[in-house]
Amino acid sequence: MKNKTFAKNNRHPRVLNPLRLFTPRLSFRRNSPFKKETKGMFIILCMLLCCYALSFLHRPSRAGVFSSSLMHEQDIREVAEIRFSIPTRAEPVEMGEMTLIKDGARFYLRTGNGSYPVRQEIIDRFFSLLGAGRSFLPISARPQDYPDYQIDDGHASRIVFVRKDKTILSELFFGMTDAAGAGRYVRTGTSVKVFLIDNAFEPFLTVAAPFWLDLQIYAALFRGTGIQGLEYGNHSVIRMEANSDAFRALESFLEKFSCIDIYSAPPLQSPQTARVRLALGNGTELRFSFTPLQSGDYVFFDSRNSNAYLISGYTCEQLLRHIEAVCNS
């Protein structure tokens, strides 16, 4: 009897998990902070999933995509003038204007203060992009939709290409970028349709002179020649063996000399203006002057093309140091 009772009580012996002896029980009551936190995270997750799904709903269909270029090669060869009108400030919108004019084989930026040669590699890249094949995704054919893409006349970046006889070859309007920033809305002056293309033109939608111009204006000046004489103030110095090192140092500095921008305001007349004349070995001469501004920068005037530039106060100090070294040599 005793053995039967023992067997009955031990038919399914209870095995204790030793880990449970040392693990605290977590009680998720109705008002538990853990439950509230989990519920909040679940709501946030649902909202993120909804946003992700909506992004697909608003993504334009790829139907109707075709390949073309913004300009034909024949038209590019006829371009004699490029007019830029680019927003430089958002609201209220301010437009910056710039005109590039072809003279011979090169383009120049023309202002009231001079004619500045455009960097050839920049203009070549610009024309290459215009003539390159790319995908065009139709977006809208309704002019009332233009403000949605900032491609209306008041907000778009506008580039006009003009022939030698002043007739318009092409007119392009660039609007805002798409949500991903990889595409840009565009339309032409001959069509009401808006297309989405790649955003390769973004660097060129600017009227900032330092982008288009080479501001190292004397980089190639001393190839095959050198400075033979200098006039500055009351000093007039001829190059000789004794001062040759000072002249070479001045040449080296001018080759690396760089302006920070062009100066488009009216020319300055100031008693503080310093003038320098350099006689070159090839029989030509170079005249330049520099006038201080209240900002600490200087207006630098180059006589070769009657161009005015801005240089920093530090650059002007270094230029004066080299000039005075020649005068004192």
Segment 228-238, tens digit of pLDDT = 999 999 999 99
Q: Give the predicted TM-score (pTM) of the model.
A: 0.75
3-state secondary structure of 290: strand
How confident is the model over 300-320, as pLDDT tens digits?
999 887 899 999 999 999 999
| pLDDT tens, residue by residue, 20-64 | 444 445 444 555 554 556 766 767 776 766 555 444 444 455 668
Q: Residue 118: pLDDT above 80? A: yes
